[in-house]
Amino acid sequence: MSTSFPKTGDPAAGRECDGLDGRPLIVGNWKMNGLAEDLPEVCGLAKALAAHPSRARTVICPPATLVARMAEVLRGTGIEIGGQDCRAEPSGAFTGDISAAMLVDAGARFVILGHAERRATYGETDPDVAAKAAAAVQAGLRPILCLGEQLDDRAAGRALAVIGEQVERCVSGIPAGGAFAIAYEPVWAIGAGMAPRSDDIEAAHARIHAALVKMIGAAARQVPILYGGSVDAENAADILRLPKVGGLLIGRAALRREDFLPVIWAADTL
């Protein structure tokens, strides 16, 4: 199996995985937030980035009700749109669910899969994520596969083993040639206002990369590995400078441009 991402990395800086086309991938997850009245926020974000461009590749994942409208208002700005989930089946009697093809039709290019909140609330498993990832790639989406350890795993000294196992199970759904990213989110840090130590993040990303190498060989260098878990303007640059951190998955700080812009511009300090 291989990916179709272009070669990544910035040889001048000696980085192995800076994101897509050598750029960090900054993804804003709006979760269950946002109405039509909030669209001016993204218009303001686009205007600010047009005035002061960033080297980052920026993606916003709004609730499904805003995907099409946000894609329309951001058309031509360079900011891309993603979904927050999709079903593995292409269609059928699944009231309330959304297929990957529907997201593409609405203007999405990425989709977040296996977020810790969906795992906890809906009992989603790694095999579920793998099946959704297969459907996403088939429809033309680039899945962002979320994984990470629970606090109990870390306390038991199993954090890195759990992470490696999750990579193997989730990535198994990616068809040959499918493009994807991975987001490491230590579950205990999400929304808690705290992040792991730098050496813990570095170790987790190294373990993910090693698991990818085992599965897809040299193509692992082309897979952005994002960090997500209480990231804001204060710690974004430091986290992005860590080895094998190819971008960030942002929650609360992505809702308002005054909070999100400093995170995006942090990529320009690398």
For 178-219, the DSSP string reads ---EEEE--GGGTTTT----HHHHHHHHHHHHHHHHHHHGGG
How many Å apart are CA 55 and CA 216, to the nearest integer? 27
How many Å apart are CA 246 and CA 180, to the nearest integer? 12
How many Å apart are CA 235 and CA 95, to the nearest integer? 40
42-91 pLDDT, tens digit per residue, is 999 999 999 999 999 999 999 999 999 999 999 999 999 999 999 999 99
Write the CA distances from 47 to 74, 76, 211, integer angstroms: 10, 12, 39
How many Å apart are CA 188 and CA 228, to the nearest integer? 11
- Classify 25-269 by CATH class: alpha beta
Which of 115, 117, 124, 149 is an active site residue?
A: 115
Does the pLDDT at position 180 exceed 60? yes
Confidence (pTM): 0.91
Residue 244 sits at φ, ψ, to 5 deg, of 65, 15
Binding residues for substrate: 29-31, 191, 230
Does the pLDDT at position 189 exceed 90? no
**Residue 115 annotated as catalytic:** yes
How many Å apart are CA 114 and CA 226, to the nearest integer? 14
Average pLDDT, the chain: 90
Binding residues: 29-31, 191, 230
Going by pLDDT thresholds of 50, 70 and 90, the confidence category of residue 191 is low
Per the CB < 8 A criterion, the answer to whether 29 and 244 are in contact is no
Measured torsion, CA atoms of residues 32, 146, 60, 45, in degrees rounded to the nearest 10: 100
pLDDT at 11: 28
Q: Work out whether the CA dihedral 145, 151, 152, 156 comes out positive or negative.
A: positive
Burial of 219 (0-12, 13-18, 19+ CB in 10 A): middle
Going by pLDDT thresholds of 50, 70 and 90, the confidence category of residue 177 is confident
**Residue 258 annotated as catalytic:** no
Which of 80, 117, 124, 185 is an active site residue?
A: 185
